[in-house]
């Protein structure tokens, strides 16, 4: 290969690598900024006054996320389900979900009441949570519906499920659910653990990746200048 052609190919490769790594670094910075903005919004929402039944029903879902809630209604204990493979404080167990039929409305909301540990001897043996009858008051935070995990098939246990399938849950219960849920906070007299994971931006990870990409970009340019310009010029001299 002719030296001039080799020089052009090396130059093109160096420019492509430098451009790609620079753009990847910028992308990581943008992701960090986006996550920080979302956490800032969540913090502001959490400082607002608690919403009650009517606001939960009438306001759009995305405007309510991370707001505190003070709700009144009646539990439908017979529809309680246990989401499997959910962790709290690093321990495997179940999230306990029970519908709360809102007072003065036909609507219901899925309440993530808390967490119970798994029985490693008998998977079907779950802690039966006491569910009060009559009108109750529930304090919590408005969040999205529980995240879905990899589902290897329909659970053979009706009460224990891998994920919450809202269309199926609506048909089973006959309830008109809102497209959100509430993570219950407050008293732990019912034996449930409520050390819910506090949302964090995770921006430090993206800043770290950005530093690596920008570092690789700078290294590429440095090596190109050193070997293709400085060293060649030194040989000529």
97 CB-near residues (< 8 Å, 6+ apart):
80, 81, 82, 83, 110, 111, 112, 113, 146, 164, 181
pLDDT for 103 beyond 90:
yes
Closest CA to 109 of 147, 192, 66, 166: 166
Helices H / strands E in the chain, number of each? 6, 7
CA end-to-end distance (rounded Å), the chain: 24
Binned at pLDDT 50, 70 and 90, residue 1 comes out as low
The rounded Cα 194 to chain-centroid distance in angstroms is 17
Contact 28, 206 (CB under 8 A): yes
Crossing angle for the helix pair 203-225 and 3-47, nearest 10 degrees?
A: 160
Dump pLDDT digits (tens) for 26-56: 999 999 888 888 777 777 767 788 889 998 9
The rounded Cα 85 to chain-centroid distance in angstroms is 15
Mean pLDDT in the chain?
87
Percent of the chain at pLDDT > 90 equals 50
pTM score, two decimals? Answer: 0.72
Tell me what the mean pLDDT of segment 73-99 comes to: 93
Tell me what the mean pLDDT of segment 197-201 comes to: 66
Domain range annotation of the chain: 3-41+202-236, 67-184
Q: Are β-strands 107-117 and 81-88 bridged in parallel, bridged antiparallel, or unpaired?
A: unpaired
Binned at pLDDT 50, 70 and 90, residue 116 comes out as very high
- Classify each residue of 197-222 as buried b or exposed e, where b means 16 or more C-beta atoms within 10 Å of its C-beta: eeeebebeebeebbeebbebbeebbe
What is the spatial distance between Cα 93 and Cα 187, in angstroms, rounded to a whole number?
A: 20
Query: What pLDDT does residue 237 have?
Result: 63
Residue 87: CB atoms within 10 Å: 11
What does each C-alpha distance from 75 to 137, 153, 175, 201 come to in angstroms? Answer: 10, 29, 12, 34
Query: What pLDDT does residue 27 have?
Result: 96
pLDDT for 228 beyond 80:
yes
Contact 66, 46 (CB under 8 A): yes
Query: What pLDDT does residue 153 have?
Result: 58
Contact 74, 100 (CB under 8 A): yes
Range of weakest confidence among 95-104, 119-128, 170-179? 119-128
pLDDT for 121 beyond 60:
yes
Tell me what the mean pLDDT of segment 133-143 comes to: 93
Closest CA to 159 of 76, 83, 74: 83
Contact 126, 119 (CB under 8 A): yes
Burial of 101 (0-12, 13-18, 19+ CB in 10 A): middle
Closest CA to 111 of 46, 200, 192, 199: 192
Percent of the chain at pLDDT > 70 equals 93
């Amino acid at each position: 290969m002719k030296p001039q052609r080799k020089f052009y190919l090396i130059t093109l490769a160096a420019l492509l690598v430098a451009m790609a790594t620079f753009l990847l670094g910028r992308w990581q910075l943008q992701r960090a900024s986006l996550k920080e903005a979302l956490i800032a919004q969540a913090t502001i929402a959490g400082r607002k006054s608690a919403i009650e039944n009517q606001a939960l029903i009438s306001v759009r879902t995305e405007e309510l996320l991370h707001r505190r809630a003070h709700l009144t209604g009646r539990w439908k204990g017979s529809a309680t389900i246990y989401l499997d493979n959910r962790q709290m404080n690093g321990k495997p167990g179940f999230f306990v979900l029970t519908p709360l039929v809102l007072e003065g409305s036909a609507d219901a909301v899925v309440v993530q009441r808390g967490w119970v540990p798994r029985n490693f001897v008998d998977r079907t043996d779950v802690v039966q949570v006491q569910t009060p009858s009559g009108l109750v008051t529930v304090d919590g935070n408005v969040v999205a519906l529980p995240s879905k995990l990899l589902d290897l098939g329909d659970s053979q246990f009706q009460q224990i499920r891998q994920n919450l399938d809202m269309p199926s849950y609506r048909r089973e219960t006959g309830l008109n659910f809102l497209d959100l849920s509430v993570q219950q906070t407050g008293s732990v007299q019912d034996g449930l653990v409520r050390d819910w994971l506090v949302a964090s931006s995770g921006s430090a990870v993206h800043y770290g990746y950005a530093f690596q990409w920008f570092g690789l970009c700078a290294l590429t340019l440095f090596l190109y200048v050193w070997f293709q310009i400085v060293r060649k010029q030194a040989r000529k001299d």
